[in-house]
Amino acid sequence: MAENTALVAAQDWRDRVLSDPDMILEDRDLMRALISANEQRMGSNIVDLRGIAMSRLEARLDKLEDTHRSVIAAAYENLAGTNQIHRCVLALLETPDMVSLLDTLIEAVAGIVRVDRIRLVLESAAPEAPPHSAIVSVPEGFVADYVRLGRDVPMRPITLRQCAPASEEIFGEAADWVRSEALLTLDLGPDRMPGMLVFGAEDPHQFRANQGTELLSFLGSAFEKVLRRHLG
């Protein structure tokens, strides 16, 4: 009885394969087992070029699949980043005055982009106590010196870097644990000194020099225009 059942099962499997051979061709583990069995039947003194070619094609396919997954993951990450920046810009555009803008910076924007500190650095001929916790008042020339770190290099609109230690002048007591920063330089108009929007993160890998800056550049440009409007 058991033998008849086995014969029926074998015949059924054979019929299914003959009617739909793709079910084997698309199963990589099954194909690998069949090729291995074929190689064993041929003996050790015969080289199966088809098997070698298939192994190489499988390796290439695995590499292509890994690349495909990486591209998909990067696309989703970029889309998520774009959505974050768009939400920030919309929040900034809705601010009716300067105080609301600064509150939105350290609350809503910081939460959306997941940074630990945001500071608006404004140069002044006579720095004084700032009217808001988000503002850092600095002397003329501070922004360029801070971005360049004393080096004779061109000014860039966006600078991403790790920092240890961070600037106490910008981050205050948080300088003890801020480990990376994004610097967005701001042009506030011909009659005003430059400014800088600074994002600080505890994670030393959140901002690195080899990261793209397109989205932060867009955010900086939008913030610059909103700030000019509130400054009058």
Q: What is the pLDDT along the chain (232 residues), one digit of tens a residue?
A: 555 666 766 677 777 767 776 666 666 676 666 666 666 665 555 555 566 666 677 777 778 777 777 777 666 677 777 899 999 999 999 999 999 999 999 999 999 999 999 999 999 988 888 889 999 999 999 999 999 988 888 889 999 999 988 999 999 999 999 999 999 999 998 889 999 999 999 999 999 998 889 999 999 999 999 999 998 7
The model's pTM is 0.69
Indicate whether 51 belongs to any domain.
no
Indicate whether 70 belongs to any domain.
no
Question: What's the pLDDT at 69?
Answer: 78
Cα(51)–Cα(35) distance, integer angstroms: 7
Name the residue among 113, 107, 201 with its Cα closest to residue 163.
201
Domain with residue 189: its CATH number is 3.30.450.40
Q: Where are the alpha helices (DSSP H) in 43-155?
A: 49-93, 98-104, 110-113, 142-148
Indicate whether 137 belongs to any domain.
yes
Indicate whether 178 belongs to any domain.
yes
Indicate whether 56 belongs to any domain.
no
Indicate whether 201 belongs to any domain.
yes
- How far does the chain reach from its first CA to its final CA, in angstroms? 95
Cα(19)–Cα(30) distance, integer angstroms: 17
How many domains does the chain fold into?
1
Indicate whether 132 belongs to any domain.
yes
Indicate whether 86 belongs to any domain.
no
User: What's the domain range around 205?
Assistant: 94-231
Question: What's the pLDDT at 195?
Answer: 95
